[in-house]
């Protein structure tokens, strides 16, 4: 099932409700990272919102609150190799499936950000703009983004010159210029058009 806003919950019969979201569909480098969260209704967390609409400091505050107060959370991912093999859409579904499967308490129902659900065993609903509408999806988006951003900052030290700590792998002009001058790293997604074009041009040149 998929619903567009305005959103109203469809999971009233269920007690253990998870939300899941992914981060990293658009970057030219690194894994797509997903998270799943089951919030504790007895411990509400203020400030939950779409991770993209929060400042870095706000995300960190919410991240710590989710870790402390949620029933459980888990992170899943799909690797660069998997993205290249099955495409980014299917890799995103795979990452979310792995995140939900990794929850130490298995949910009775799952809200999924976007317009489709993974093929899995869970009763679920896809919610367009769910990261702004469903608190558990908002929490998942925050966990996923903070996790992936930290990894990109670490990868910036391993692969200097590409600006990963600031662009998070997205195709900024500086990142594209670095690709042209330095070439692709092992964490670049070679099937993504900007990377493929630069690699083809360097081979032909």
Q: Which residues contact 162 (CB under 8 A, 6 or more apart)?
A: 29, 156, 175, 178, 179, 182, 185
Residue 29 to residue 88: CA distance in whole angstroms: 12
User: DSSP letter string over 21-65?
Assistant: EEE-SS-SBS-EEEEEEE--TTS--TT---GGGS-HHHHHHHHHH
pLDDT in tens, 118-177: 999 999 999 999 999 999 999 999 999 999 999 999 999 999 999 999 999 999 999 999
Average pLDDT over residues 93-121: 97
CATH superfamily, with its number, for domain 2-156: Ribonuclease H-like superfamily/Ribonuclease H (3.30.420.10)
pLDDT band at 203 (very low <50, low <70, confident <90, very high): confident
pLDDT in tens, 18-73: 999 999 999 999 999 999 999 999 999 999 998 999 999 999 999 999 999 999 99
Average pLDDT over residues 99-109: 97
Residue 125 to residue 115: CA distance in whole angstroms: 9
| Strand ranges in 47-169 using DSSP code E only, listed in sequence order | 72-78, 109-113, 124-127
- Provide the whole-model pTM: 0.93
pLDDT at 11: 55
Q: Which residues contact 193 (CB under 8 A, 6 or more apart)?
A: none
What sign does the dihedral 125-129-134-139 (CA atoms) show? positive
Residue 85, pLDDT > 60, answer: yes
DSSP class of residue 188?
B
Residue 23 to residue 21: CA distance in whole angstroms: 7
Residue 14, pLDDT > 90, answer: no
Where in the chain are all domains bearing CATH 3.30.420.10? 2-156
Average pLDDT over residues 90-110: 98
């Amino acid at each position: 099932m998929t619903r567009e806003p305005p959103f109203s919950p469809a999971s009233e019969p269920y007690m253990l409700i998870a939300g899941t979201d992914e981060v990293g569909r658009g970057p030219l480098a690194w894994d797509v990272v997903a998270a799943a969260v089951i919030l504790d209704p007895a411990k509400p967390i203020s400030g939950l919102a779409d991770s993209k609409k929060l400042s870095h400091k706000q995300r960190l505050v919410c991240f710590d609150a989710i870790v402390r107060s949620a029933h459980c959370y888990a992170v899943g991912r799909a690797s660069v190799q998997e993205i290249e093999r099955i495409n980014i859409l299917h890799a995103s579904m795979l990452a979310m499936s792995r995140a939900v499967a990794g929850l130490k308490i298995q949910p009775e129902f799952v809200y999924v950000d976007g317009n489709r659900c993974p093929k899995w065993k869970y009763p679920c609903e896809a919610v367009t703009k769910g990261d702004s509408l469903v608190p558990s999806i908002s929490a998942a988006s925050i966990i996923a983004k903070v996790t992936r951003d930290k990894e990109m900052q670490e990868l910036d030290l391993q692969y200097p010159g590409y600006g990963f700590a600031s662009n998070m792998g997205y195709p900024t002009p500086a990142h594209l210029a670095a690709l042209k001058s330095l070439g692709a790293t092992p964490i670049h997604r070679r099937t993504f058009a900007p990377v493929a074009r630069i690699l083809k041009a360097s081979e032909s040149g």
